[in-house]
């Protein structure tokens, strides 16, 4: 009996403690605002001709650039690590801002995802190069778009159109690199859980908790 207790204390208890704190860390923090009150999208249409807005939605935002298909691996990473896990929430949207003229390439990417993903939550919208540059500039980010008006980073924007991330100098993060699956599985997933927890807590406080979040 004593031997079993010793084995439990030495091996099982530390694992249980780790899982407890690992799962609870997001409940005791808040994700800082990097850029407050960014502008909403312009009158830009999606592949199905609809207008997409940032208002009242948690948005995962990306910038495809002109070379969408050559960078499709980044979207497959995001799809596997984040999208497939959370896209069913009504208050969440995944939006990719693309240059006009890349509609066919974007559709091919969506078609490539269809065999193993419900693509209804993917929104590819299209704007002119100048409009994309202007929109990105007002995000006030340290990172830059490449010459094709794209980046491998995606950004988390809350329902009030605040861009969220990490502000501490040693751990600064304004976006998440889709080229690296480990960054999506770790930093982005952790931060994303914080955002969802914030809204769950707010809904519970107002006695309006729903299954959307």
For the chain (length 213 residues), average pLDDT per consecutive 10? 51 47 49 96 95 96 96 97 91 96 97 95 97 98 96 97 93 96 96 89 63 50
Q: What pLDDT is stored for residue 208 in this prediction?
A: 54
Is residue 171 within 8 Å of 68, Cβ to Cβ? Answer: no
Is residue 41 domain-resident?
Answer: yes
Q: Strand pairing of 92-99 and 58-64? A: parallel
The CATH number of the domain holding residue 137 is 3.40.30.10
Is residue 103 domain-resident?
Answer: yes
> Which residues have CB under 8 Å from 59's CB, separation 6+?
92, 93, 94, 95, 156, 157
Is residue 133 domain-resident?
Answer: yes
Domains in the chain: how many in total? 1
Q: What pLDDT is stored for residue 170 in this prediction?
A: 86
Note down the domain range covering 181.
33-211
Q: What pLDDT is stored for residue 148 in this prediction?
A: 96
């Amino acid at each position: 009996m004593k031997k079993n207790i010793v084995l439990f204390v030495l091996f099982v208890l530390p694992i249980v403690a780790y899982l407890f704190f690992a799962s609870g860390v997001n409940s005791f923090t808040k994700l800082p605002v990097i850029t407050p009150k960014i502008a909403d999208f312009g009158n830009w249409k999606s592949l199905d001709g609809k207008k997409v807005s940032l208002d009242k939605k948690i948005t995962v935002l990306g910038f495809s650039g002109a070379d969408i298909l050559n960078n499709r691996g980044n979207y497959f990473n995001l799809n596997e690590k984040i999208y497939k896990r959370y896209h069913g929430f009504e208050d969440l949207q995944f939006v990719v801002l693309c240059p006009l003229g890349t509609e066919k390439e974007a559709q091919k990417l969506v078609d490539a995802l269809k065999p193993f993903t419900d693509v209804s939550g993917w929104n590819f919208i299209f704007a002119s190069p100048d409009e994309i540059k202007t929109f990105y500039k007002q995000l006030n980010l340290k990172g830059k778009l490449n010459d094709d008006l794209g980046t491998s980073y995606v950004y988390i924007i809350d329902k009030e159109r605040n861009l969220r991330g990490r502000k501490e100098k040693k751990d600064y993060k304004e976006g998440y690199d889709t080229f690296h699956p480990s960054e999506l599985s770790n930093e982005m997933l952790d931060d994303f859980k914080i955002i969802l927890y914030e809204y769950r807590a707010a809904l519970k406080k107002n006695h309006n908790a729903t299954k959307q979040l």
